[in-house]
Amino acid sequence: MDFNDTPEQAKFRAEVRAWLADNARLPQAGRLVRDMHLRFDEAKQWYQKKAAAGYACLDWPKKYGGAGLTPVHKVIWSEEVEKYTEPDDYFVIGIGNCGPAVMHFMPEQRRAELLPRMASAQDVWCQLFSEPGAGSDLAGLRTSARQSASGDWLINGQKIWTSGAQNSDYGVVLCRTDTSVSKYKGLTMFVIDMRQASVTVKPIKQMDRGQHFNEVFFNDAHIPDENRLGEINGGWEAALVVLMNERMAITASVPDGFAEFLKFVRRAELAGTPLREHPLVRDKLAQWYCLHAGVKASYYRLITAVAQGGVPGAEGAIGKLIAGRMNQEIADFSLQLMGEFADLHEPAAATDDGYFQDAILYTPGIRLAGGTDEIMRNIIAEQVLRLPQEPRVDKGMAFEDIPGG
Amino acid sequence: MNFDFSEDQKLLQSEAQKFLQQQCSNDLVRSVMEDGERFYAADLWQKMIELEWPGLAIPEQYGGHGLGYLELCVLAQALGGSLAPVPFSSTVYLLGEALKMAGSKQQQQEHLSDIAAGKLIGCVAVTERLGGSIHNLPDSRVINGKLSGQKAIVTDAMCADLALVSARNANNAYSLYLLPLDQPTVTRTPVNTLDPSRPAARLQFDGAEVEPLGAGGKGQQILEEVYDRAAVLFAFEQVGGCQAALQMGMAYSRERFAFGRPVASFQAIKHKFADMYVAQEIALANAYYAAWALASDAPELPLAAATARVSAIDAYFLCSKENLQAHGGMGYTWEFDCHLHYRRAQHLSVHLGGAPTWKNQVATELLATKTAKEA
């Protein structure tokens, strides 16, 4: 058990620190970029800057555009980059979910073509899983892939909640290739070129006015067979690899709002009493810190296990379950502490650039993206604790016979 | 960074678990709980002495093994899981640590050697009244080496040989003393406790012979440091208890059927277990971090220990109460073992001062330092 850096890690940390000091921007009042197109451009620039300096995808092999380092180096990087305002996790879905899928299922030549461009954000990737009728019950999806005589595939159907689809060059898409077998057995996963005309992306306006999610329509979209990930009808197993990496990635990146809360507590007051001295506030501060520290320490345990050759398990669901709820509760409590002033959703006038006003509006989405709280609990109960599944009405039925509605 | 116990430490833990599974059944726990004349499981304690557990982290010069806190942590987790009714925490985490921290060479030579040899059971006597804690100046008083006063509840006092006692000295300064319990000026009266598997006594002192531990006036400071260390070890006991309670609830729910299927297949029950597991894992992760801070004598210890303590208190209460609920009406019977964990959770949570005290420490430590992000 040792939290300290090895000499090699300390050297890496010092290099990273120096590079960030020269290249990353510190937060400043009014600097937060709200326009999502500008934020996307910023993110692309940041990733390209990182890649040029050799800091992209630290734990990927060098031949795929990574740095050939370890998950521990990633932790060091995120600790050092935390205080800057750069969009360092912006392309987490592509790099965290799609990257490992490409690495796992594609032949060497395709990996070498696709991955370095992904690492430097020259190509942007999205994940096309959820559908209007298949969210929590993902394996119930209906988008179809039919193989033509040439061996290539034609895709028809609709996806939804696809983060970043409007900016994406490629997507990892899960499709139904056989309706005559049970729902888990008739799926196949592919890489699709999103820039073709038969793919239509329609942004969804969120309740917080943002437009990160999209509907994606496929109308005879084309996928060459070389873009298939894994076996025909082996898509569920392939999807599980993606989802496992997703949970690992989001454990580290779901914002919990704690740092912002601590900052607020340090300097605001309630009816003349500094918040830092207020017993009700201190109780919440301690409670949330214990969760914040616990998720972080759990992540360190996970990283250590992976570094020792283990596989990231469903334990990552813990981080998402805790951080999503906590961020929403922190936003609410902080706004309550501000009184009527909290209603003012004007970045220039509000506390911390309106962080808490923004957060109360975006946190409901954090609890849904990547699986609801209930799905996280199911994952923990069934995959970690190995408790029996609910009886399923559609168990063993051919997909085409399952009632829908 | 390596955030895991070593292979040797894991081996120690699994050996300890195996040993306790064989030697510390719930029947043994009940034998102490249900017999007002038994103050600890003496046979089990004797076997633990044969395994040389009390001296695990005592320096070799005093006959111990000279191992570190990490070994104590893995042992604590196994002890907590088995509900072992022995005075290990009082002797090792509290008295032993106080001696290491503040004892004179001679006190260390004498008492640490006895602890390592299994010849000494210890306890810590600090609570005098409702709301009393190590943060209040005690009313007990020592004048000319004689102690007068009382302590309302002292865990393990009935079986202990030597007590660490807080008292004011002749200058009204908060000080600590070592009190041999076997003297006519000390009256020990057994008291009923929430967890009778960890018996306690009320102590009355009428001019009892004591000797100072550490400098006069340093009592509170020493106790706070001892309690920070003990909090980490208690957290591991609590996490061990969480794991046992969760396993117990899941095993029962798998076997019990309702509406034609295992109770464990209902989402309402599974989500309950998922929440218990999450609380347990958070407590364990915070305990790991605190273990590192303890073992490396890091300046983060007061924050890390308090964080581990708060998470462990919350998690064991949750796991023990929801395990009981998952058993339905049977869980509320004396016969079923659910209340053993429910009681132990309460005992462990208040023994070093309850959650509000430690939450307050978390807030204070947190606000006293700037995090890297803020710096």
Residue A32's pLDDT band, with cuts at 50, 70 and 90, is: low
Q: Are strands A199-203 and A214-223 parallel, antiparallel or unpaired?
A: antiparallel
Q: How far apart are CA A405 and CA A394, in angstroms?
A: 13
The 10 Å Cβ neighbour count of residue B116 is: 26
Chain length of chain B: 375
In sequence order, the β-bridge partners of residue B189 are: B202
Q: What is the mean pLDDT of chain A?
A: 91
Residues in chain B with CB shorter than 8 Å from the CB of A297 are 3, 285-286, 288-289
Say if residue A21's pLDDT is above 90: yes
Mean of the per-residue pLDDT values of chain B: 96
For residue B304, pLDDT over 90 is answered with yes
pLDDT at residue A246 above 80? no
Query: Residue A294 and residue B281: Cβ atoms within 8 Å?
Result: yes
What are the chain B neighbours of A265 within 8 Å (beta carbons)? 367
Smallest CA–CA distance, residue B178 to chain A, in Å, is: 34
Band (pLDDT 50/70/90 cuts) for residue A346 is confident
Residue of B nearest to A321 (CA): B278
Residue B136: the pLDDT is 92
Task: Check A86, A246, A315, A329 and give the catalytic one.
Answer: A246
Give the count of beta carbons closer than 10 Å to the beta carbon of residue B345. 26
User: Is A273 an interface residue toward B (CB < 8 Å)?
Assistant: no
Beta bridge partners of A187: A176
Report the predicted TM-score, pTM, of the whole model to 2 decimal places: 0.93
Model confidence at A28, pLDDT cuts 50, 70, 90, reads: confident
Q: Chain A residues with CB inside 8 Å of B359's CB?
A: 282-283, 286-287
What residue in A sits closest to B293 (Cα-Cα)?
Answer: A3
Residue A31 has pLDDT above 80, yes or no: no
Q: Does the structure show a pLDDT above 50 at B375?
A: no
Percent of chain A with pLDDT over 90: 71
Closest CA to B283 of B243, B227, B247, B245: B243
Q: Which of B119, B8, B121, B125 is nearest to B62 (CA)?
A: B119
The residue type at A356: F
Q: Does A21 touch chain B (CB under 8 A)?
A: no
In tens, the pLDDT along A55-98 reads: 999 999 999 999 999 888 998 999 899 889 899 989 988 998 89
Q: What is the pLDDT of residue A302?
A: 85
B174, burial (CB in 10 Å: exposed 0-12, middle 13-18, buried 19+): buried
Whether B286 and A293 lie within 8 Å, measured CB to CB: yes
Task: Decide which of 2.40.110.10, 3.60.15.10, 3.40.50.300, 3.10.20.30 is the CATH code for B123-215.
Answer: 2.40.110.10
> Does the pLDDT value for residue A169 go beyond 80?
yes
**Residue A174 — φ and ψ, nearest 5°?**
-105, 125
DSSP category for residue B2:
B
B5: nearest CB among A1, A296, A321? A1
Give the 3-state DSSP-derived string for B177-239, with helices as H, strands as E and coil as C: EEEECCCCCEEEEEECCCCCCCCEEEEEEEEEECEEECCCCCHHHHHHHHHHHHHHHHHHHHH
A interface test, pick of B243, B254, B282 with most A CB neighbours within 10 Å: B282
B4, B314, B362: residue with CB nearest A289:
B362
How far is A259 from chain B, CA to nearest CA, in Å? 8
Domain boundaries, chain B: 7-119, 123-215, 220-368
Quote the CA–CA distance of B268 and B278 in Å, as a whole number: 16
pLDDT band at A268 (very low <50, low <70, confident <90, very high): very high
Whether the pLDDT of residue A239 is over 60: the answer is yes
Judge whether A315 counts as a catalytic residue.
no
**Interface touch A388/B262, C-beta < 8 Å:** yes
Q: Which of A251, A352, A372, A387 to mutate to test the interface with B (most CBs of B within 10 A)?
A: A387
Contacts with A4 from chain B: Cβ below 8 Å: 1, 296
10 Å Cβ neighbour count for B3?
24
pLDDT reported for residue B371: 55
pLDDT tens digit sequence for B6-56: 999 999 999 999 999 999 999 999 999 999 899 999 999 999 999 999 999
Phi, psi of A159 (to 5 degrees): -110, 165
Average pLDDT rounded to a whole number, residues B137-157: 97
Q: Quick one: pLDDT at residue A29?
A: 64
Domains and CATH numbers, chain A: 7-90 (no CATH), 125-235 (2.40.110.10), 254-384 (1.20.140.10)
- In chain A, what residues touch B295 (CB-CB under 8 Å)? 1
- Correct CATH for B7-119 of 1.10.540.10, 3.90.1150.10, 1.10.3720.10, 3.30.420.40: 1.10.540.10
Residue whose tokens read 């999806």: A141
What kind of fold does domain B220-368 have according to CATH?
Butyryl-CoA Dehydrogenase, subunit A; domain 3 (1.20.140)
Assembly ipTM:
0.95
When CB atoms are compared, the residue of A289, A291, A390 closest to B366 is A289
Closest-approach residue (CA) in chain B for A303? B3
What distance in Å separates residue B355's CA from the closest CA in chain A? Answer: 10
The whole-angstrom separation of Cα B33 and Cα B197 is 4
Nearest by CB to A263, from B291, B298, B374: name it.
Answer: B374
Which among B5, B278, B358 is the nearest to A322, CB-wise? B278
In single-letter form, the type of residue at position A141 comes to L
Give every CB contact of residue A275 below 8 A, 6+ residues apart in sequence. Answer: A264, A265, A266, A268, A269, A281, A337
Mean pLDDT of A11-23: 97
Whether residues A83 and B372 touch (CB distance < 8 A) is answered with yes
> Under an 8 A CB cutoff, do A1 and B70 touch?
yes
pLDDT number for residue A247: 67
Contacts of A314 (CB under 8 A, 6+ apart): A244, A247, A379, A380, A383, A384
pLDDT score, position A306: 80
Using the Cβ of A28 and the Cβ atoms of chain B, whether some distance falls under 8 Å is answered with no
B286, A294: Cβ pair inside 8 Å? yes
Question: Which residue(s) pair with A192 in the sheet?
Answer: A171
- Say yes or no for a CB contact (<8 Å) between A286 and B274: no
- Kindly determine whether residue A293 and residue B273, on different chains, have CB atoms separated by under 8 Å: no
* Contact A277/B at CB under 8 A: no
| Model confidence band, residue A399 (pLDDT cutoffs 50, 70, 90) | very high
Question: Nearest residue on chain B to A316, judged by CA atoms?
Answer: B278
For residue A251, the model assigns a pLDDT of 65
> Closest Cα partner for A304 from B368, B292, B39?
B292
Return the pLDDT at B374: 52
Q: Is A292 helix (H, G, I), strand (E, B) or coil?
A: helix
